[in-house]
Every structure is written in structure tokens, then in C-alpha cells.
A and B are shown apart, each in its own frame.
Chain A
Amino acid sequence: MIAMTHAGYVAAGWIGTAVLLGGYAWHVVRRGRKLSRQVPASERRWS
């Protein structure tokens, strides 16, 4: 790993994936929190 070939492509792929998945997860959680304030707790069967 110290002398990695194609390091730029590998870094871009791994960092991009982490940012995308992390960002999407954050977006979904925020959307869920916002929506759950508009719906009675009885309709949230998982809580």
C-alpha cells in the first residue's frame, strides 16, 4: 500500500463511495426524522 500504483483512481473510488453512501444515509435519516414529526407515533410501527 505504501507505493500504490494508480493511487489517484483508488482513492477517488473509495472516498467517493464513502461520501456518497454516507451522504445518502444522512439524507434518509434526516428525511425520516422530519416526516415522523408529521405522523402520529401509532403509525410508526417500528418505534
Chain B
Amino acid sequence: MTTTLPPRTTTGPAEGAAPPVAAGTGSPATRVLGIGALVSSALLVLYGLVISPADAEMGDSVRLMYLHVPAATYLYVGCFFTTIASGLWLWKRTPGWDALAEAGAEVALVFSVVTLGAGSLWGRPTWGTYWTWDARLTSTAVLVAMLVGYLALRRLELDPAARSTRAAVLGLLLVPNVIVVNRSVEWWRGLHQGETISRIDPTIDGSMLTALMVGFLALGLVFAWLMVHRFRVAWLEQQADRFDLDEALALRRAEAVDATTSTDTAKGTA
């Protein structure tokens, strides 16, 4: 006797019906969010590359600030999500927190590439170098290494709960490092400039500040859209793993039943 499990695909079209659009991680809310992200990104191009003037000292390279500063902020936000969700996973053991921690780390890593890429390209004409071992840059590099390590840890072939626990311990260290990155320009005087917009009297021209705010809006919506979709991907991965395990257990049970039946039949024949 052989046992075959029904196919797991439950979204197959009915006989003769048109095939449905592949169901993924989208929903009406993410579609609205996505449209908002696209519209605000178009506004960012307009403000950042056309309306905003060139800086008196840095020239047009200042236009990289409209990407660099918001990307760095959302890198911090992603790390914040991972640390909080890691703590809640360790406390509650709810799979949703584990999925959120993973999503936060991966999206933060993408934003770290934008931060370092735009920052390096801005640094070359401004400082004369793409990279220097300044306190801000070095601490950011450490943060990126931690994010890469966190995501590598999540890909180890371990028991899922043990893997999530180990990753969560590393995830807890992200926000303390973000604080070091953020305060590094105050604690250690280096090449990187200090606070510009978080001061009570921002030392930035009005139209540049507007472009920067549009940058925060656009990259914030992109960040939110990516976080929602990436969280859902992590959730689906957990469910797919669970269904794989269920299938394997069902097959083993079916094999055990087969073996028992065969033994009984053999005894009866003898």
C-alpha cells in the first residue's frame, strides 16, 4: 500500500476557469503603500535633482545627501525592528516576532548599502576619498558586519528554534551599536560632519531641507513597503517549513502502518 499526500497547492484554478494572478505577499494596503512610494520617489527626483540648488561649497554633490541621510535613518529603524522583535521572540517565542526580526535585518542591510554607497560617492568630491577610518564610518562598517553575520546565522542548517534563538541574541546587540554609530560624531571628532538637521536651528538652506524631507518621506514609504513584503516572505518560509515537516511526519506514519500491515499479512499466510 502506498500513501500519497494531496498536492499542497490550494490555489489551483477550477476546471475551465481563468488562472488566477499568482497570490504573493501583496494586499490592497501594500498596493496603496507602493503607489505612495512611487509617487514620493518621483517627487524626490524632482526636488533632489531639479528644484534644490547646488551647495555653495560642495556643489551638486550635495544632492547625494537626499539619499544618504534618509537611508542611514531607515538603516537605524530596521535595526530597531530587529532588536525589539528579537527580544520579544526570546520572551514570547511567537513566530511572528522572529519573522519581523529577520525582515528588519535584511531591509536594514539593503539600506546600509545605500547609505555607504551614496556616502562614499559624496565623500570622494567633498573629502577627496571614498573611504576613511573615521569613527562614524568605522562604526557603520561594524554595524553592517553584524547585519551580515545575523543573516548568515539565520541560514545555518540548525533546528529552526535554536537558529532563531542564536540570531536573536545577536539581534539584541544591533541597537546598542546603532547608538554608538549615531553618537560617534560627538564622542570622537572625525572627518564626518556632526548633526545638521536634528538641531533646534537646522544649519541647512530651506529648499534643501524640503528636498531632504521629501527624501525621508520617499525612502520611508519604500522602507515600509519592503518591510511588509519581506515580513510576509519570512512568514511564508516558516509556514512552508512547517508543511514540509508535516508531510515528512505523515509519510513516516504511513510507512510505519504499511510495515505493520505487511508483517501481519506475512504471519497470517505462514
Contact = CB atoms under 8 A, between A and B. Distances in A.
B57 to A, nearest CB: 11
Contact of B237 (A16, A25, A35): A35
A1 to B, nearest CB: 6
Interface string A14-47: 1011001100110011011101111111111011
Contacts of A35: 233, 236-237, 240
Interface in A1-19: 1, 4-7, 9-10, 12-14, 16-17
A32 B110 contact: no
Given A28-B226, A35-B233, A36-B23, A43 B239 contact: yes
B122 interface: yes
A47 B23 contact: yes
- Say which size band chain B's interface belongs to: 35 or more
A29 B114 contact: no
A11 B190 CA distance: 27
Given A6-B60, A28-B25, A47-B27, A14 B49 contact: yes
A9 B226 CA distance: 26
B26 interface: yes
A47 B30 CA distance: 11
Contacts of A37: 9, 11, 22
Given A9-B121, A13-B117, A35-B236, A20 B60 contact: no
A6 B237 contact: no
Interface stretch (B61-69, B148-156, B193-201): B61-69
B118 interface: yes
B61 A5 contact: yes
Contacts of B125: 5-6, 9
B8 A6 contact: no
A19 to B, nearest CB: 11
B206 to A, nearest CB: 19
A29 B27 CA distance: 12
Contacts of A46: 25, 27, 29-30, 232
Contacts of B230: 28
B60 A4 contact: yes
A21 B70 CA distance: 14
Interface of A: 1, 4-7, 9-10, 12-14, 16-17, 20-21, 24-25, 28-29, 31-33, 35-44, 46-47
Given A7-B60, A14-B64, A32-B229, 20 more contacts: A1-B49, A9-B124, A13-B121, A14-B45, A14-B48, A14-B67, A16-B118, A17-B117, A25-B226, A25-B229, A28-B226, A32-B24, A32-B25, A32-B26, A35-B240, A37-B11, A38-B243, A39-B243, A40-B243, A46-B232
